[in-house]
Amino acid sequence: MRSILFNAGPAALPEAVLHQAAQAMIDIPGEGQSIAEISHRSRFFENVLDEFKQLFRNLLHIPESHDILIVQGGARLQFALIPLNFLPANKTAAFIDSGYWAHTAMEYASFGNQTECIASSKTQYYRQLPDFDPKKINKQLHAYLYLCSNNTIYGTQYHTFPQVDIPLIIDMSSDILSKPINFTHIDLAFACAQKNIGPAGFSVVIVKKSFLETAQTQLAPALSYKHQAAKHSNDVTNPIIAIYTALLNLRHLHDTGGVAAAQERNSQKAHSLYTELDRNSLFNAPVNPTDRSQMNVCFFAKQEQHHQAFLTYCQTQNIKGIQGHIQAGGFRASLYNAVTQEMVNELIAALRDFEKEHA
Ligand SMILES: *Cc1c(COP(=O)(O)O)cnc(C)c1O
């Protein structure tokens, strides 16, 4: 029996997608070989990459002004590649520190380069988004502004992005494909695959072509976004199983109404869970209500002894993956696209039953 999975990442995938991927592991229909065996230079995989990029563009209405790159490695590799590609020695990168991943990206960019934290909500335990003053941006000094759209660990999310007149770079690892995004004013967005896109092993980078023109050229090809774009993301041997499974997931998203329909489902799911947490006498959700994430719902047991007891109770209900990140403590239910309202209802029922038994 499949568990009711609220994993933060690698995350739940739709069961229909897993069945198709399982079939391809033995024999890709019409190819006579496994997805684990096929060449990255094959016509089949060239078509997979093309369809992936086209479907990704269509699903998010990404304008032709932007390139879509599929690159090896996860989000942290992009933390390292972004300053290598876009932070010249005489400039500084401006960061909004909204939590662990934004802060880690800033540390990655500090190696040999300059960073400036221009806003932080650390003293509020990252339970709200930082206050951001656009006057802190210095066009002469700052190469770009970097922020994280959804703070996976602390459960805050940007519902609109700040407007700035320097390039804007956004880590969208944990909320891409969960809602429509206007990419017009975003110079670079990236996401590791293992939250809403598919299995771990690669990242998607959406980069404005005019911004890509400004990238450093004195880089080893495997580290250069420009090189990856010139090679249509098929230079190094890609993680073919992960990308193919992600394509199956994109097709599934398309067939279930696309990103707008996903947003509607995601809003409903998050609303139902936050409503229960705000009502339940034994739990609380401490994130500032206007900054609450629709993807990662963080909550705590009000009484210490209920923490382990609720985890144990969830296990008996076949509910998994709700332990909070070690940095934040408490609980976290991740409600990515593949998590259904029915699954959320099971968690809500568990919260209610636990309250009845322990209040
Ligand atoms: C998961 C996550 C990361 C880290 O991803 P890796 O692929 O493990 O490096 C970075 N940023 C955000 C917002 C995440 O959710």
**CB of 99 closer than 6 A to ligand 1?**
no
- Helix, strand or coil, per DSSP, at residue 24: helix
Q: Specify whether the CB–CB gap between 155 and 293 falls below 8 A.
A: yes
Catalytic residue among 53, 67, 97, 101: 101
Please give the mean pLDDT across all residues of the chain. Answer: 96
Of 153, 171, 173, which is best to mutate to test ligand 1, by the most ligand atoms within 8 angstroms of its C-beta?
A: 173
Give the Å distance between the CA of 185 and the centre of ligand 1: 23
Give the span between the Cα atoms of 119 and 211, in whole angstroms.
24
**Hey, how many other C-beta atoms are within 10 angstroms of the C-beta on 286?**
16
Give residue 110's pLDDT.
85
Which atom of ligand 1 is nearest the CA belonging to 101?
11
- Helix, strand or coil, per DSSP, at residue 259: helix
**What are the Cα distances from residue 42, in Å, to 48, 233, 249?**
10, 14, 21
Give residue 352's pLDDT.
98
Give the Å distance between the CA of 81 and the centre of ligand 1: 14
pTM of the shown model = 0.97
**CB of 171 closer than 6 A to ligand 1?**
yes
Give the Å distance between the CA of 295 and the centre of ligand 1: 14
Of 158, 192, 197, 203, which is best to mutate to test ligand 1, by the most ligand atoms within 8 angstroms of its C-beta?
A: 192
Instruction: Determine whether 101 is an active site residue.
Output: yes
> What would the two tokens of residue 100 be?
């662990």
Closest-CA residue, ligand 1 atom 4, reads 75
- In the chain, which stretches have pLDDT less than 50? none
**CB of 152 closer than 6 A to ligand 1?**
yes
Give the span between the Cα atoms of 117 and 21, in whole angstroms.
43
Give the span between the Cα atoms of 261 and 257, in whole angstroms.
5
Give the Å distance between the CA of 115 and the centre of ligand 1: 20
Instruction: Determine whether 165 is an active site residue.
Output: no
Rg from Cα positions in the chain: 21
* Residues pairing with 120 in the sheet: 97
**CB of 75 closer than 6 A to ligand 1?**
yes
- From the list 223, 217, 218, the residue with the least C-alpha distance to 205 is 223
Catalytic residue among 53, 67, 97, 171: 171
* Helix runs in the chain, H state only: 15-26, 43-60, 75-86, 100-109, 209-212, 225-230, 240-255, 258-279, 305-316, 341-358
Residue 39 neighbours by CB under 8 Å, 6+ apart = 45
Give residue 117's pLDDT.
96
**CB of 9 closer than 6 A to ligand 1?**
yes
Give residue 354's pLDDT.
98
Give residue 1's pLDDT.
84
Instruction: Determine whether 255 is an active site residue.
Output: no
Give the Å distance between the CA of 27 and the centre of ligand 1: 32
Give the Å distance between the CA of 173 and the centre of ligand 1: 6
- 3-state DSSP helix/strand/coil % of the chain, to nearest 5: 40, 20, 40
Transcribe 182-199 into DSSP letters: --TT-SEEEEETTTTTSS
**Counting every residue, how long is the chain?**
359
